[in-house]
Structure 1
């Protein structure tokens, strides 16, 4: 019986360490920035690793076309590209801590 209390304490320490690492990773991801693009770079968006859109730029050439529908499509594509890259970054970073184990609700 005494052995199981020691094992429980060890398990608790491991869980606390993993929690500290996860908090550190969340902080790092909040500061990391990836770029999504569309139209060969005519539209660019910056997204943080925790999936917040930080900035959006549209080239003057695209704006001059005046094609609202095309601009909307390019913006949407750039945002989707940026969010996909941010998600991939988060997954890669989390894998370092979890060893590939899927933890629901982490990101």
Structure 2
């Protein structure tokens, strides 16, 4: 007597693989759309109680830098430099945190190296 092997012994075979490929393509499309959306956004951060404000794009390019007159002290350039660095770093961190948070919604929290 010959044993009969069910048609879907491997969980659907090619059909299951096609479904996985479609899901992966959909996820890739969502990731691409999100990356474009984030790159088009602006992110702002301040330092020194608002004395320095920086606005960057989602591509991490500085778009605007605003200094309140009271923070410009020729005798303390080091403080001004520190405030600018702090504001820029905070804005970059905002871009990265937003990207990571919104990507995890698409990927289900799975880290996909090289995506962002």
What is the TM-score of this pair, normalised by structure 2?
Answer: 0.83
Name the one with the larger helix percent: 1
Secondary structure in 2 matching 1:103: coil
Unaligned residue ranges in structure 1 (runs of 5+): none
Larger Rg: 2
Match of 1:72 in 2: 81
Match of 1:98 in 2: 107
TM-superposed CA distance for 1:84, in Å, is 1.0
Structure 1 residue ranges (4+ consecutive) displaced by more than 6 angstroms after TM superposition: none
What is the TM-score of this pair, normalised by structure 1?
Answer: 0.90
1:1-107 correspondence runs (5 A): 3-63=12-72, 65-66=73-74, 67-107=76-116
Point out the more displaced range, 43-52 or 7-16. 43-52
TM-superposed CA distance for 1:102, in Å, is 0.9
Point out the more displaced range, 42-51 or 84-93. 42-51
Question: What do you get for the CA RMSD once the two structures are aligned?
Answer: 1.5
Q: Which has the higher contact order (CA 8 A, sep 6+)?
A: 1
Point out the more displaced range, 52-61 or 22-31. 52-61
